[in-house]
Chains A and B, each alone.
Chain A
Amino acid sequence: MQVALFVPCYVDQLAPDVAWATLRVLERAGCHVHYDPEQGCCGQPFLNRGARREASRLASRHLARFGAAQAIVSPSSSCVATVRHRFAELGLAGGDGALRQTERTYELGEFLVRVLGKTALGARFPYRVAVLQSCHGLRELGLGTPSESALPPEASPLEQLLRSVEDLVLVPAERPDECCGFGGAFSVTHPTLSARMGRARLRAFADAGAEYVTGTDVSCLLHLDGLRRREGFGPRPIHLAEILANGAGQ
């Protein structure tokens, strides 16, 4: 399958390894990956601050750059949720066709499990790993069942993939899907609350005995890592793509 790699702007600058890992994992899953170096921002940070005009311009540009792609895959569930659900609120439908462009945009784990039907990718990661459910992945993209839902629980693609990783031990943490407190600009406009929320997650993961914490959003992981380095405790954050790329193809 032809796949366009959607590298969120902050991943490009702050976590290039995650973008490389995503590319490798997709290739290992049999995809032909295309990367457009002139892609930009989907507009999420602007939209979340209420700057709808700026967000809408960036969103149009994003749609235009990725117009022809069969599938658009990103290592960030919150950017994908913005494309899939919020573009429509900005009056941007993402074209016609069998699947609109906004619906052809997938989070990495979601794409591997739900589109390609793959959970085992030959990765090995011999550590105790806790899961940080990304709120937008969980509640907006429907990747798993939130703990507050009365619907029958369904494992998230993230957890399905991790279960197939050799020697990886998944450790359940208290309050499995409580928000880590990143929240985009919230982390800077409400630093006390953001840190209170993040420390609580870090504590829960540490109490569960996790050596690593993984998730589908680099932003949440960077926030937790900043807290971990300040507080001097807690598991090291690692993106799902980096775990899946580990040991793969070697």
Chain B
Amino acid sequence: MTFDARAAANLPSRGELSQHDAAVWDLRRKRDAAAAEVPDWEALRERAAALKAYSLDHLDELLVAFEEGARDAGAHVHWAGDATAFCRIVTELLAARGARRVVKSKSMLTEECGLNPHLEARGVEVVDTDLGERIVQLAGEPPSHLIVPAIHKTRREIGALFHRHMGTPEGEDDPERLTRFARADLRRRFLAADAGITGANFAVAETGSLVIVTNEGNADLGSSLPPLHIACLGIEKVIPALADLPVFLRLLARSATGQPISAYTTLLTGPREGGELHVVLVDNGRSTLLANPTHRSALACIRCGACLNTCPVYRRSGGHAYGTVIPGPIGSVLGPALGGPLGAELPHASSLCGSCSAVCPVKIDLHGQLLAWRGERRAPGAGERALTTGAALALRWPALRGIARTALRGLWPLLGRRGRRNPAGPWLAARELPPLPAKSFRAQWLEKSRR
């Protein structure tokens, strides 16, 4: 199925479409207001982009420094080359301690590596503790957004889901009451957990610290209640020093939800007293991307979701249309590099309006990247190849251009007819064909200048 067909199936009615669009646009609107309150917002983006560029240029040194710092603070550091290695490391850590009940906070990396199904197949119970993640976990769906994973769900659907899985009263769909039920259910699971798995937003090379940002405090419970804490992060998450952190923290929550700062920002240096901290650093294709001079800047992404919220395509396709763990413009940029069912098609799922590049807090040239991928992963069908070659020739050679002009004029009326074999079919599906004026500007101009 093409991206367009997936979008049509994903948000099938105009009601669902406008609800999704409005909910996501609201995040963009809040982001605008928050950005406007920071006097040096554009300078802050510049600073963040420069820091990320530096970090990626010095990733090797910074990662080693982080590892030393984390070990000095009492953490264990593991390196995983790919998703398989990552899942194996986590499974072994859990198995060695007999851990069967795991609470997990938000981590797109674990989604990317398929950690949940891997652990569940080995008899480990994994509970996602971010409310949105918990909703999609209960629904058996992947997240559809980086920050608000269940944005595609209505309160009624969530009410029904909670009724089925948590025994909430039938028909209950009040968001606050549903949240209280989920909170009570999760609290019980936090207290019983053998291990907590978290992601991390940043890793500080200077001190070996991890920085975890949430709005629900679930990562704090998951990292401090159970005796074992496993933190999972991609190798691109490392930043040089603690002094650099405020630059990113000022940008992250504002770009994501319009909050000046997230409700919980936790700096972890080493394990809690009496506990164990394992940090797993994962490559899984990142070093290949790092070696690609055109596309390495995509690794600067801090996963704020601002490019999704502003994207007129994402808002009208929904996240599941992308078929990737990370949807939206950044997902389409990472997609061709990190894989996914739509591969080469994703960079075309954009009108190239450029709003993504304009909101990105670390100034990734997202729409430029999409255009670059189109050139690199070119997979046109036979029809398009013939059309491209023919049109390019006709536009270059005067003799052919005359023939092409005549052909266009002859064929135009046929294009307006609906029919299965009409190449203008996709245009006509929702629009009328523009009328073709009797004479082109060139023809009129030539006539006039002859007179």
Interface on A for B, CB 8 Å cutoff?
A: 7, 9, 11-17, 19-20, 35, 37-38, 40-41, 45-52, 54, 57-58, 61, 86, 135-136, 138-140, 146-151, 175, 177-179, 181-200, 222-223, 225-227, 229-230
With beta carbons under 8 angstroms apart, the residue of A17, A58, A140, A223 that contacts B395 is: A58
The distance from the CB of A136 to the nearest CB of chain B, in whole angstroms, is 7
A230 and B313 contacting across the interface, CB-CB below 8 Å: no
* Nearest CB of chain A from residue B361's CB, rounded to whole Å: 11
B1-21 contacts to A (CB < 8 Å): 2-5, 7-8, 17, 21
Shortest beta-carbon distance from B389 to chain A in Å: 7
Is B426 in contact with A227, judged by CB distance below 8 angstroms? Answer: no
Measured CB to CB, the closest approach of chain B to A37, in angstroms, equals 5
Q: Which of A12, A20, A51, A139 contacts B388 (CB 8 A)?
A: A51
A-B contact pairs, 12 of them (CB 8 A): A13-B408, A13-B436, A17-B437, A48-B371, A50-B375, A51-B392, A139-B355, A146-B358, A148-B358, A149-B358, A185-B348, A192-B429
- 8 Å CB interface, B140-189 against A: none
Which of the segments B192-200, B266-274, B284-292, B438-446 contacts the partner chain? B438-446
Give 8 closest A-B pairs by Cβ, nearest first: A183-B351, A226-B431, A50-B374, A195-B430, A179-B353, A54-B392, A16-B441, A150-B41
B426's partner among A138, A188, A199 (CB-CB below 8 A) is A188
Number of A-B contacts (CB under 8 A): 194
Known: A14-B437, A16-B441. A194 touches B355 (CB 8 A): no
Residues of A within 8 A of B398 (CB): 38
Given A13-B436, A148-B355, A148-B359, residue A193 in contact with residue B442 (CB < 8 A):
no
Given contacts A16-B437, A51-B375, A51-B380, 11 further A-B pairs with CB under 8 A are A37-B446, A47-B371, A51-B392, A58-B392, A147-B32, A148-B28, A179-B351, A181-B351, A190-B7, A193-B4, A226-B434
Q: Report if A135-B392 is in contact (Cβ < 8 Å); known contacts: A51-B378, A148-B358, A179-B312.
A: no
User: Hey, which chain B residues are within 8 Å of A179, CB to CB?
Assistant: 312, 351, 353, 355
Which residue among A86, A188, A225 has the maximum number of chain B CB atoms within 10 Å of its CB? A188
Q: In the complex, what's the smallest C-beta–C-beta distance from B343 to chain A, in angstroms?
A: 13
A12 touches B440 (CB 8 A): yes
Q: Is the CB of B317 within 8 A of A230?
A: no
Knowing A19-B441, A189-B4, the reply to whether A40 touches B355 (Cβ < 8 A) is no
Question: Within 8 Å CB of B380, what residues of A?
Answer: 49-51
Distance in Å: Cβ of B266 to nearest Cβ of chain A: 28
A150 touches B392 (CB 8 A): no
- Verify if B71 is at the interface (C-beta below 8 Å from A): no
Contacts of B392 in A (CB 8 A): 46, 51, 54, 57-58
Verify if B114 is at the interface (C-beta below 8 Å from A).
no
Most chain B CB within a 10 A radius of its CB, from A7, A20, A37, A86 = A37
With a CB–CB cut-off of 8 A, which chain B residues contact A40?
A: 395-396, 401
Whether B35 is near chain A, meaning CB under 8 Å from some CB there, is: yes
Name the residue on A nearest B439 (C-beta): A16
For the complex, what is the distance from the CA of A51 to the CA of B379, rounded to whole Å? 10
Q: Kindly list chain B residues whose C-beta atoms are within 8 Å of the C-beta of A136.
A: 352, 354
